Structure 1
Amino acid sequence: MSNSEQRISTETALRLLIKQQRRQILRRVGDAPGATTVDQLIRHPEGTDSQQPEESGSVERRDLELHHVHLPILQDANVIEYDANQGTVRRSREFQDVLSLLEAIDDHREDASPSP
């Protein structure tokens, strides 16, 4: 198998999913039929994790982290394509594998919730 055909490792995918903001980005990009804009990611940061305390602090800090930390990390792992000049984000080669892992984690969390 060549490097271009290798799939993302489970360990790498799990490291990408550690941060709440990256999980939210993946959910938003997954919900978009094509590319989404960074502005849409900023305006709608909520996700399944939104009931948890915000890890990042202020809105300005979250925006900086989005542009300079989270989007570049996901791009470096070939999960998204981030065009800073155009302000767009779209799925990349490893997106579906990481999103599938996130969905499995979410499903497990729902299954583990106590019944009312």
Structure 2
Amino acid sequence: MGPIANIGTFESVCNLLSHPTRRALLHMLWEIETPTTVETVACALVDADGSQSDGAEQTEEIKQLEIALYHVHLPKMADVGVINYDPRTGTIRTNDTTYIAYNVLDHVLSENDF
């Protein structure tokens, strides 16, 4: 069974990529070395957002994003097979199907303005 069989159904991939946080996360994971952690990813996503939050507001944004990543986005991405995620350690790893999902996202974004 090749990597494409592990990525789940077309509908599950489309659902996965329909959320802006998961799109940003997939893009970021493609560009950084893994393994990485939930905390590192949350900080990077908040920094990439470019918001002009002060220190306390930014810390709260990071905390809220960590919670959302831990409970929603990372498990969903792992269930589809796009990443390997260990909630006990907070470790995130890319895999062969990360490349496939990233290429789908890249193709869709190059064809449409989102």
The two structures have a TM-score, normalised by structure 2, of 0.73
Q: Taking CA–CA contacts closer than 8 Å with sequence separation of 6 or more, which of the two structures ends up with the larger relative contact order? A: 2
Q: Which runs of 5+ in 2 are unaligned?
A: 51-59
Deviations 1:79-112 (A, max 9, x none): 1111223222111342111111111122123xx6
Superposed, which structure 2 residues align to 1:56-95 within 5 Å?
Answer: 59=61, 60-95=63-98
Q: 1:22 aligned to 2:25?
A: no
Q: Which runs of 5+ in 1 are unaligned?
A: 52-57
For residue 109 of structure 2, the aligned residue among 96, 106, 110 is 106
Change beyond 3 A, Cα 1:104–1:5 = closer
Q: CA deviation at 1:4?
A: 7.8
Hey, what's the Cα distance between the residues in 1 that align with 2:47 and 2:82? 18
Moved more, 32-41 or 58-67: 58-67
The two structures have a TM-score, normalised by structure 1, of 0.71
1:107 maps to a residue whose letter is S
Hey, what's the Cα distance between the residues in 2 that align with 1:47 and 1:9? 32
Structure 2 counterpart SS, 1:30: helix
Indicate the structure with greater helix content: 2
- Corresponding residue of 2:33: 33
Percent of aligned pairs with the same amino acid: 23
- Corresponding residue of 2:55: none
Q: Size of the alignment, in residue pairs?
A: 103
